Amino acid sequence: MSGKLRIHPKMKESGPIQRCDWPNCKAACCIYGAWVDKRHAEDILAHADEIIPYMDEGHKSPDAWFDGQEEADDHALTGRVVHTTILPNPYHYGGTSCIFLRSDFKCALQVAAEANQEHKWRFKPFYCVLHPLDLDDLGRITLDEFDLLTKEPASCIRGTRRETPLAETFREELEYLLGSQLSQIKK
């Protein structure tokens, strides 16, 4: 993503939330596909040979992985994003899913990265790694109103009685996205 990612002050707060209960959620977050920086999409396509073995049958053609939609995105490294193909999926929450979602509810991009001894998010689009976190208007990593998110049946977070620091709940994503910048969250 462009620029230097920062943390919204809200991420220093605690909340009564916990992670989703994957695989029971069946990767509901993959319902609408994802926006992918153009350079990242080109990288995915350049590594198609590594990814194809982990795609479900019928979805192995790299020509079908992106649907042709393109938009401007101020947070994208190139300033442009393309969209993954969304397919009908009667077994998935909402009846649709991203082409990279496998029938075992795992992301083919993540499975391919792990199988090739790379970081599990090597091929994963930025917005997929970020989710359910978001970027505010200033490009800071934040979480929308978690009291509303916990009421959504297919949300990527669940309510709990225990208050947990948001930075702890999302530590893995924050470490991946921010690296050494993560120390700012403890201040």
Domain limits at 30?
A: 23-118
d(CA 66, CA 64): 6
pTM: 0.87
Same domain for 58 and 144, yes or no, is: no
Residue 70 structure tokens: 């393109």
Last residue of a domain, one of 75, 94, 118: 118
d(CA 168, CA 40): 28
Same domain for 114 and 31, yes or no, is: yes
pLDDT of residue 187: 47
d(CA 11, CA 169): 10
Classify 32 as helix, strand or coil: coil
Range with top average pLDDT, 4-8, 21-25, 159-163, 172-176: 172-176
Q: C-alpha dihedral over 104, 108, 109, 113, to 10 degrees? A: 90
Helices and strands (H, E) in the chain, number of each type: 7, 10
pLDDT (average), residues 29-42: 95
pLDDT (average), residues 143-159: 73
Q: pLDDT tier at 1 (50, 70, 90 boundaries)?
A: low
d(CA 81, CA 144): 22
d(CA 39, CA 13): 34
pLDDT of residue 60: 97
pLDDT of residue 179: 82
pLDDT digits over 53-80, tens only?
Answer: 999 999 999 999 999 999 999 989 999 9
pLDDT over threshold 60, residue 184 = no
pLDDT of residue 16: 86
**Which of 179, 164, 29 is CA-nearest to residue 93?**
29
Q: For the chain, what is the domain count?
A: 2
Residue 47 structure tokens: 């590594």
pLDDT of residue 82: 98
pLDDT of residue 54: 98
Last residue of a domain, one of 87, 118, 149: 118
Q: Please check whether residue 93 is in contact with residue 26, taking contact to mean a CB–CB distance below 8 angstroms.
A: yes
User: Looking at the domain assignment, is residue 125 inside a domain?
Assistant: no
pLDDT (average), residues 7-34: 84
101 has which bridge partners? 107
pLDDT over threshold 50, residue 175 = yes
